[in-house]
Chains A and B, each alone.
Chain A
Amino acid sequence: MALLELDDVSKAFGSLKAVDGVSFKVEAGEIFGIAGPNGSGKSTLFNIITGIPFGPDRGQIRFDGIAINGKSGHAIARLGLARTFQRETSFDGLTVFENALIGASYGKQEKTAATARNAAAEALEFVGLGSQSFGRLAGELSVFERKCLMLATAVAMQPRMLLLDEPASSLTKPEIETSIGLIRRTAERGITILLIEHVLTFLMSLSQHLLVLNNGRVLAAGDPAGVIADPRVIEAYLGTRRSAA
């Protein structure tokens, strides 16, 4: 059984069909990439899977066999489905350690204070935020550090699956390299990863499966090399010969 399963999922804003009849399956343990030009519905897809801030209008979403469409955002998170946000996000009024402690404490069932503190410390060390940065206010961190912290708060939840929304956006080349390594090591912890990116090279270097969205619909899906070679995908990204000319 697939870990995450979407069946004919749709979401419209007025007359705009942001996500239109999307179906796919993510198997446990893989890194599954979703590509698509800006405005193709990638982030909306993440929003409706996680119920933050809304679920789908139509269709079924099952996580680990449980129907999650209609469940509230925090309940979905507690089932073990974590996400990050496209923009670097943090709880600015809390310290780095407290940020991670939130994920550790509220992520999955109730944890004792000591267990939660251990999980938070471990997750921070994992992303490279060592104990010397634990006491800093999150609002004082750099963009890259905040992105790492956002990953740490997700890892501290000890989720089964992690949805990463454009982890490479607004990062420098060396930071992107570090991120790729970090995502690989996150997957090696046994966390299944669903990854949105519009930088194709980033996706290609990580994903075992690739899906391309365009105008809210699945354009192509399957083995990354095959998907990239698909003429419809090339057209969506680059336009046709005629319109390009």
Chain B
Amino acid sequence: MTDTTSPITLSHAEAAAPIAPGRTPWKHEAIGFVLGFALLALLPLIFGDTYARHILIMAFIYAIVASNWDLSLGYGGVFNFGHLALFGIGVYAYSLLTKLAAFDPWVALFASGVIATLAAILVTIPILRLKGIYIILVTFGFAQLVMQVIISQSAITGGTQGLVRIPGLYVFDHNMVRDGKSAYFYIALALLVASTLFLRVFVRSRAGASIVALRDNEEYAISRGVSIVRQRMLTLAASAFFTGIAGAFYAAYQRNASIDVFGMSLATIILSMVLLGGTSTIYGAIIASFVLTIFAEWMADFGAWRPMITAVLIIGVMLAYPSGLVGMIKASWGAVAGRIKRPG
């Protein structure tokens, strides 16, 4: 019994290893983060017309929804097909709070995030003991249920007609209508920055590692003390907050709400953003949101061909790079870096 507890002194292991060995150091990521978003903040200087700015605002909204979906689907491995319902809940929570309860728009925006989070916690309960396709069934059913409730309560929600004249956001006395959409542009960008910061801090935390552990091997994770109930709720709740806020912002920006947000077409678009970007990266979903939104605009002249061309291109990228756009970027970066390093 010599040398029993002799812990190899931690200082030595600590000194040898960076904070998160094998991961991009915080500093590098922070630099990329600031540069990337600073670039986005400069876009209104190039795109002066309101239509181009509108496309960018939509891309920001989609990016928030898609990257938050990547948290539950990519990192957590939870097939939450009710993710767009959380967005829809944000849309309607904001609309009803501002229109009927006369909430201040900013308070309503925040409250919509909270309400979406509570809804996510609620939907976690029936899926705790389920796996794979059964989670899809229940969460899909949840989305349908939310939509049916909204349709049936038409006296309050406007039913299939939707709601119009929803109060927009304000910034002091700034005129939100005649500023070429720049206020909405920067609010959308600020929400995307906040959401992305939140998601990246979360996935790099111990809680973030624990939800990946549950995804990779549920029984093994449980045997290491990870509570599946607690972490599943945390996963869905964390992915819901900014999704709900994005829904609220969408309602404030469009000034109307309709049940179209619960439709399959929007869900399909956002899902293809998550998958095209490359799951479990957060950034991939954001990049893919920009690419797909802007691409769809370029292709506007092709009419009915547009979705087909988009679909073929998505399939092409995914076949060549199964890890999506992020994989494509990494591969081309590797090729460039290799060429630079290669002597002669």
Contacts and interface: CB of A to CB of B under 8 A. Distances in A.
Nearest to A133: B21
B22 A95 contact: yes
Given A78-B225, A121-B13, A102 B213 contact: yes
B216 interface: yes
B223 A93 contact: no
Contact of B4 (A50, A82, A137, A188): A188
A71 to B, nearest CB: 12
A144 interface: no
B222 A74 contact: yes
B222 A77 contact: yes
B14 A117 contact: yes
A160 interface: no
Interface string A82-102: 110100011111111111011
B163 interface: no
B10 A122 contact: yes
Contact of A91 (B4, B10, B212): B212
Contacts of A136: 22
Interface in B1-32: 1, 3-5, 7-8, 10, 13-14, 16-18, 20-23
B224 A101 contact: no
A153 B221 CA distance: 10
Given A117-B14, A136-B22, A74 B213 contact: no
B210 interface: yes
Given A101-B209, A105-B210, A135-B21, A74 B227 contact: yes
Interface string B197-217: 000000000100110110111
Nearest to B15: A131
Contacts of B193: none
Contacts, number: 127
Contact residue range for chain A?
Answer: 35 or more
A124 B3 CA distance: 17
B17 A134 contact: yes
A48 B29 CA distance: 45
B228 interface: yes
Given A72-B227, A106-B224, 13 more contacts: A50-B223, A74-B227, A77-B223, A90-B220, A93-B212, A94-B209, A95-B22, A99-B213, A122-B7, A131-B16, A131-B17, A135-B17, A189-B5
28 contacts: A50-B223, A52-B222, A74-B226, A83-B223, A91-B209, A91-B216, A94-B213, A97-B17, A97-B21, A97-B22, A101-B209, A102-B209, A102-B226, A105-B206, A107-B225, A113-B206, A117-B14, A122-B7, A122-B8, A125-B8, A134-B17, A134-B22, A135-B17, A135-B22, A135-B23, A154-B224, A157-B224, A190-B5
Q: Closest 4 CB pairs between A and B?
A: A135-B22, A106-B225, A121-B13, A135-B21
Interface of B: 1, 3-5, 7-8, 10, 13-14, 16-18, 20-23, 206, 209-210, 212-213, 215-217, 219-228, 280
